[in-house]
Structure 1
């Protein structure tokens, strides 16, 4: 049975939410950048460090065995969270960025000049720059897909962009700026019909909507721990058995090998062939605890709560003169990105911080999208399970005061 969505009780599990900033109660609305951590995660990392820490997979003593069991249990939790077929499909990484770089590196050996990689203009830089490496070093061609006015992906353009030279379609599952949720299953169908692979950037989606990688049909899926109420420095790359078997190792070192001699090397099987060196052991264990913490709640109730907060904030901004909200597609995630005419986003964020309200300002590592929107930067408020209606009202009130100062 799922836990009740008692927001006051949930907030009590996040010690940082009780602090003040500039003499005001903290209103943390920068969750799309990084979420706060519950006691369950904090305690799990501390307790593992206190009671059973050693390197994994390499020892036969008790501490090593106990740590290995906890580490591999976290891999199973990640498998279940994404509904992967096997733990062999789950590669631990430093985060989504490393996962995407790993896939790009694996694909590099197959790329020939003129081969195409299809991206959308709302991608995070982490899902752009690794593909530029293939453009610069291997002659790949990047093809860009645009958006409709409401911020939804132009699926007609996507279908036209995919062709016989397409090798990879790399698309966000949920935009970190617009909150747009893409039609990933349909994207996979279009790509696979052209014998192309699909990488879905799930950095935002994995937090806010249920993800079933088998139902979606993706070849690759990435998510990152620090947005999932877990630690930083840990993430997950999901790959199908075929994709992982086909991919060459990303880094060399311990753990990822079977035999090393002076004149040859044979590699381990997936996922271990992609996990060279001592892994982020405590971070992986913390991520497993974070995912279990999330799964204790009904995901539909979490989503409804976050969307209600977004709608309350959107309604509070909608009538403000000079205010533009970027991204209004239906069924979007709880990410509110906006511009206020006559006010720089950095100034807005700085003034809101005086009132204890933490938002993000800048290009959000999405400069091609900023160019499309015709701005150099935007402000962004993003909502999480522990945010409240009172915090939304505090955000709107602080924004009104900032507008009086700046406009």
Structure 2
């Protein structure tokens, strides 16, 4: 869901309240009257009981190394890993699962770097050009520069263009992008949901701009597990994501490769032992997320973000990063996908993060791993998921409002 009208007759927070309470109760770490307020799901998501149970069952019934033995447990582990590979394809709405491949990684960063080193460097030739988003996460910038350095060392010169952005919306500038595309454009890297601004970057429009033959690589760290992601609709060639941001175990992720444009994707080197428990947790997480309903998860997170931005827009001491037209409850522009980032005009972001932590509000307060063209100053990021509640947003706003009043009294 890219567009949400806050003037809709039914408020998602009211319509989905019973649904949300039932699902929140399935997260052991969040149970109890004194449960902390966890507002850092863009870094890692909490795990439902179903995922924890699936991992426990595997570890006590079939724990072995995949692809390294012929005995029962090893065969069972290999079978489960391969089943998860197919589950990734179905979760991403793969248009051609017989052709595509899935490579398991420790997360999005490793996945993008693997694509850069093991695929892109073999695909490019002297004089080729690529387009990279330098105002997104550095994990979607550094690997492509590393590929350029590796190619330069071989005597292959390529040009790396900065992906253009619209100044106000922070979305990709499709018209300016069209001006960068030439007959030598061989690759475009993009981000599905921005890790600071929270906006859907409208990647589905890029295919029309770059044409039918240019491979597109998608950083889906902030979308997989948070909203429906269809590789059929997006028409991209690579999707890298982190399983731990999608309710699987820490240190898990995958690269999905379509295999239809350019050479087949084959990770180089010896892969070693896979993180079997982490891989299997992804299947359980995807099953749980689909049963919960990704469309409703998206609606809930967006509505919480609206509640937060509308509250922040009423406080003079705060600057909300991203599109300024999407802040208030009556705005009809594209909404933030459960990520809201802001600064206080006088209190440093690290200090603000400590203050919020003292009130039991766990947020991220730092530079958020921005690439060279992104925000240069630190900020506070609140990132939401289906287990967060309207009361938690109001609790956060109460603390921020108190700081706003104190700041006003000093001014």
Q: What is the TM-score with the length of structure 2 in the denominator?
A: 0.85
Structure 1, residues 4-35: CA drift from partner, whole Å, max 9, x if none? 96222222211111379xxx641111111111
Distance 1:220 1:8 in 2: 35
SS at match of 1:90: strand
SS at match of 2:267: coil
Give the superposition deviation at 1:333. Answer: 1.0
Distance 1:113 1:181 in 2: 34
Cα RMSD (Å): 2.2
Structure 1, residues 346-405: CA drift from partner, whole Å, max 9, x if none? 11111000000011111211143544xxx5111111110100001001111122334456
Return 5+ residue gaps in structure 2 as ranges: 1-15, 152-156, 327-333
Among candidates 160, 165, 181, match of residue 142 of structure 1: 160
Q: Which residue does the alignment assign to 2:244?
A: 226
Aligned length: 375
> Is 1:44–2:41 an aligned residue pair?
no
Distance 2:172 2:32 in 1: 40
Among candidates 106, 131, 136, match of residue 94 of structure 1: 106
Give the superposition deviation at 1:243. Answer: 4.8
SS at match of 1:296: helix
> Is 1:212–2:230 an aligned residue pair?
yes
Where does 1:342-381 land on structure 2 (aligned, <5 Å)? 342-371=346-375, 375-381=376-382
Q: Which residue does the alignment assign to 2:185?
A: 166
Among candidates 158, 176, 185, match of residue 204 of structure 2: 185
Among candidates 243, 263, 267, match of residue 250 of structure 1: 267
> Is 1:117–2:130 an aligned residue pair?
yes
SS at match of 2:347: coil
Q: Which residue does the alignment assign to 1:386?
A: 387
Structure 1, residues 15-58: CA drift from partner, whole Å, max 9, x if none? 111379xxx64111111111111111112112211111111233
Q: What is the TM-score with the length of structure 1 in the denominator?
A: 0.86
Greater alpha carbon shift after TM alignment, 336-345 vs 54-63: 54-63
Distance 1:19 1:340 in 2: 31
SS at match of 1:199: strand
Q: Which residue does the alignment assign to 2:26?
A: 13
Among candidates 24, 39, 43, match of residue 29 of structure 1: 39
Task: Tell me if the contact between 1:167 and 1:196 (Cα under 8 Å) persists in the aligned partners.
Answer: yes
Q: Which residue does the alignment assign to 1:268?
A: none
SS at match of 1:142: strand
Task: Tell me if the contact between 1:322 and 1:341 (Cα under 8 Å) persists in the aligned partners.
Answer: yes
Give the superposition deviation at 1:242. Answer: 3.3
Against the structure 1 CA distance between its residues 231 and 285, is the aligned structure 2 distance closer, same or farther, given a 3 Å change threshold? same
Task: Tell me if the contact between 1:121 and 1:147 (Cα under 8 Å) persists in the aligned partners.
Answer: no
Q: Which residue does the alignment assign to 2:292?
A: 297
Task: Tell me if the contact between 2:363 and 2:380 (Cα under 8 Å) persists in the aligned partners.
Answer: yes
Distance 2:274 2:246 in 1: 19
Task: Tell me if the contact between 2:123 and 2:263 (Cα under 8 Å) persists in the aligned partners.
Answer: no
Task: Tell me if the contact between 1:370 and 1:376 (Cα under 8 Å) persists in the aligned partners.
Answer: no
Among candidates 303, 314, 322, match of residue 319 of structure 1: 314
Return 5+ residue gaps in structure 1 as ranges: 254-275
